[in-house]
A and B are shown apart, each in its own frame.
Chain A
Amino acid sequence: MKKLINAVDAVVREQMEGMALAHPDLLRVSLEPKYIVRADAPVAGKVAVVSGGGSGHEPLHGGFVGYGMLDGACPGEIFTSPTPDQIFACGMEVNGGAGVLLIVKNYTGDVLSFETAAELLHGEGVAVRTVLVDDDVAVKDSLYTAGRRGVGGTVIVEKIAGAAVEAGYSLAQAAELAQRVSVNCRSMGMALTSCTTPSAGKPTFDLGEHEIEIGIGIHGEPGQRRIPIIDADAITTLLAEEILNDGPYTRTVRSFDPMTGDWAEVSLTSEPFRAGDRVIAFVNSMGGTPVSELYTVYRRLAMICKERNIVIVRNLIGAYITSLEMQGCSITLTRVDDEMVRLWDAPVKTPALRWGI
């Protein structure tokens, strides 16, 4: 294992210390427990948006802390969920009196942790709502699995939710919008290589020189299937078709009701893409794939969308939700309406995403 690290145990902390030194104008860092908040938190009267998850996906989530996006981010150890005490402390610090919206990627550990934190925050009188992101179409059914994983759609949901609360949305309005964006996201990823967590010291799965893994998540976990390598156009077609041909997807999610302090089960359905849909197209590097290759993917993706009359109204191309140094990419398409496009375009000023300001 060759990595730019000092000690395995210090990776997350030292990265956070570096962020604090690099971006004092945008954010503040707490190391005990670990969380990152925007420099001017709490913003009085504004709903706070908090997310979090394992480290190793940078810039997600800490790189999205700042004006117009996240108020707080809670990094776990590498590929490990954050703990409830982190999320609780972060939520308490960013709450500006209008409540806290928790954006949760659908992984069992994250869900259990955020559920516990929501209960703890509620116990302190903080209004809390939760939104689940579960956009990975590699997972087919919700009945016999823990449901679709939260992947690329998280970036889109966090941007739009952050803009919404900046524009004065209430907690209930922001939660409704964020859940609607989430339901309209679909993603599919693939790996050319595995990745190595510092603590394991060796790749989390073995992939032969001529093999690729289709339908991966973002934790170096093996994917849905393994196939012999094919060219960029063929890979892009494969990913895009999984997304565009995906049928209706229904799942039951638990969402926190700040009035009763209890969990309500809600059934949500994602409708398939149809000709005429307007989308944000997001081509993401898993960390090790250069931007040049992402454009090659985007080139083919744009052609496919055009053929199907799916209108790409905005795009995002780069490494935004990664799996350490893994080579590979993911594609996320999000069906958007005017409100979502307006909020996507709204100013944002974070370490990793910055425009209009």
Chain B
Amino acid sequence: MITTADMEAWLQRAADVLEENKGYLTELDAAIGDADHGVNIARGFAAVVQKLAAQPGQPLGPMFKSAGMTLMSTVGGASGMLYGNFFLKAANVAGDRQALTPAELLAVLEAGRDGIVQRGRAEPGDKTMIDAWTPAVDALKEALAAGQPLPAALCATAAAAEAGMRATIPMQARKGRASYLGERSIGHQDPGATSTYLILRALADALADEDAKQA
């Protein structure tokens, strides 16, 4: 089972990784956006972690909801609204559960991804974070269906997100700020797809750690 402690560890790890990579993410955004993605997303996740520490022991629904509201009010920019929506939709699925089965974790991530699509209306190939989310969710679904244990399945998820992130390089952006560059957006990696990869990598690492502790 995936516990609230696991999910807290995920968000903490995501906050750390985003903080470490904020310069890198902002650089990616400077190339095809407005040079704020790393700073904004790092600030947002730091606030999420701070808020969680103040409200320990919440069920997963309220925990995700708090994360979503915090991201919406602290990040600013498109990604704040989109990641915020991810967690709000994830919260609806998680409800008052204290733990998730792997299949429920998949449902949570899938609902979150759908939330991003609902608000942002991006399609695969538009060069957005969706190009990392969608292959990642698909990979998790496949890995679980093939009976893989969760840590391996989450590694496959992160790997798919990473491949999706790299696949944004040759794409021409059709959504978000980068779309204004037209062909000039080609050849650059999408910052939002990159933060999505980092967040999913953090998920795989956080749960691998938990696994190691139990072993």
Which A residues contact B (CB, under 8 angstroms)? 33, 54, 76-86, 107-109, 112-113, 115-116, 138-139, 144-146, 149, 197, 199-200, 204-205, 217, 219-222, 224
Contacts and interface: CB of A to CB of B under 8 A. Distances in A.
Given A84-B81, A146-B177, A205-B30, A197 B76 contact: no
Contacts of A220: 34-35
B33 A221 contact: yes
A116 B179 CA distance: 22
A199 B36 contact: yes
Contact of B78 (A81, A144, A222): A81
Contact of B77 (A81, A84, A145, A224): A81
Contacts of B66: none
A79 B177 contact: no
A41 to B, nearest CB: 22
Given A77-B40, A84-B81, A116-B81, A204 B30 contact: yes
Interface of B: 26, 30, 33-36, 39-40, 72-82, 119-120, 172, 174-177, 179-182, 184
B35 to A, nearest CB: 5
Contacts of B77: 76, 80-81, 109
A204 B35 contact: yes
A83 B181 contact: no
Contacts of B73: 33, 83-86
Contacts of B40: 77, 80
Given A108-B78, A109-B80, A222 B181 contact: yes
Given A83-B76, A85-B72, A204-B35, A145 B81 contact: no
20 contacts: A76-B77, A80-B34, A80-B40, A83-B73, A83-B76, A83-B80, A85-B72, A85-B73, A86-B73, A107-B177, A108-B176, A109-B76, A109-B80, A113-B81, A139-B180, A144-B172, A145-B174, A146-B174, A197-B36, A217-B180
> Chain B contact residues: over half helix, strand or loop, or mixed?
helix
Given A77-B40, A113-B81, A217-B180, A200 B76 contact: no
Nearest to B44: A83
Nearest to B88: A116
Contact of B174 (A144, A204, A222): A144
B35 A144 contact: no
B84 to A, nearest CB: 8
B119 A219 contact: no
A263 B184 CA distance: 33
Contacts of B72: 83-85, 116
A166 B45 CA distance: 42
Contact of B180 (A78, A79, A80, A145): A145
B187 to A, nearest CB: 13
- Of the listed residues A109, A221, A224, the one surrounded by the most CB atoms of chain B closer than 10 A to its CB is A109
B5 to A, nearest CB: 29
Given A145-B174, A221-B177, A204 B81 contact: no
B36 A80 contact: yes
A167 to B, nearest CB: 34
Nearest to B173: A145
Given A109-B78, A113-B81, A144 B179 contact: yes
Contacts of B33: 221
A221 B114 CA distance: 29
A82 B116 CA distance: 19
- Of the listed residues A33, A108, A116, A204, the one surrounded by the most CB atoms of chain B closer than 10 A to its CB is A108
- Of the listed residues A33, A82, A112, A204, the one surrounded by the most CB atoms of chain B closer than 10 A to its CB is A112
B43 to A, nearest CB: 9
